[in-house]
Amino acid sequence: MEVQPCLSAPCRYDDCKETADWLLARTKQRPKVAIICGSGLGGLADLVEDKIVFPYKDIPRFPTSTVEGHAGQLVFGKLQDRECVCMQGRFHYYEGYSLHTVTYPVRVFFLLGVETLIVTNAAGGLNGNYNVGDVMVIKDHINLPGFCGQSPLVGCNDDRFGVRFLCMSDAYDRNLRALAIQTAHEQKCGSFLREGVYCMVCGPTYETIAECNLLQKLGADAVGMSTVPEVVAARHCGMRVLGLSLITNKAVTDYESNEKANHEEVLATTRLRTQELQRLVRHLVKKI
């Protein structure tokens, strides 16, 4: 049978394989858990022991990151004796990368043998009961860019990664969510733990008041500019996913308010909560 040429964006399986093989040849570690560290949350990777660090710029075919607060390296090592690989610095759609590029590392993780992906991010709180500094276990998401045709799965499907039409009703693993909540209580993080729906917007602008009101009505508890593409790609490859959002600011929903979302506030809040979040993830990884 004649193979049909791929007329759409390339799936790049061979590129991902080349990257994965390059990494596998340079470390004996075979992590089953990968962690994507969000804005200002790269400190998680600093806790890793027996580290082997690969700056993105040294990894063949790997993209490089441009945002302040994102270091740009893969860190292999052990958290509480569990082998894991951390992405210190992720790629955002608003930086100008295609969603194929944004999700490239996730597909590399899959080819490394990773089975569980933990994604962290900074997010604006839309739920009126949320406080700055809360940690939200992501129960579900709204893929707003997906509504407009922006998905990492657009283009020819490579069955070696996953199926053409992917079910997303079980995107965030129920057992991992329960484990996160249980661990949060054990680690005295229960008082600021939430569970809710994350909505992805493209950014880089923060939302207008009208947009925040709309997202609230759609059922979103938190809003951010990342995570969803990586989760889609991870589910496509059959990985289990846990998502944690640190609520760094309250989305402004009132025209009388003088509050303004800004990147400095986002980074300042992540610095405040970084210790607790790191403790939570460390103890969680041990149980996975």
CB atoms within 10 A of CB 25: 7
Q: What amino acid is encoded at 149 in this protein?
A: G
CB atoms within 10 A of CB 241: 22
Query: What element of type H or E holds 250?
Result: strand 240-250
CB of 41 to ligand HPA, least distance (A): 11
CB of 263 to ligand HPA, least distance (A): 8
277 and 246 in contact (C-beta within 8 Å)?
yes
Residue 103 vs 248, nearer CB to ligand HPA: 248
**Closest to 16 measured CA to CA, from 55, 76, 61:** 61
Residue 47 vs 261, nearer CB to ligand HPA: 261
Residue 77 vs 124, nearer CB to ligand HPA: 124
Catalytic residues: 39, 70, 92, 94-95, 122, 225-226, 249, 263
Residue 52 vs 268, nearer CB to ligand HPA: 268
Q: What is residue 2's three-state secondary structure?
A: coil
Q: Which residue is listed with tokens 């049909």?
A: 4
Binding site residues, ligand HPA, CB under 6 A: 122-124, 206-207, 223-225, 248-249, 251, 261, 266
CB of 64 to ligand HPA, least distance (A): 21
Check residue 5 and report its DSSP letter.
Answer: P
CB of 100 to ligand HPA, least distance (A): 22
Angle between helices 104-112 and 13-24 (to 10 degrees): 50
Residue nearest to ligand HPA (CB): 124
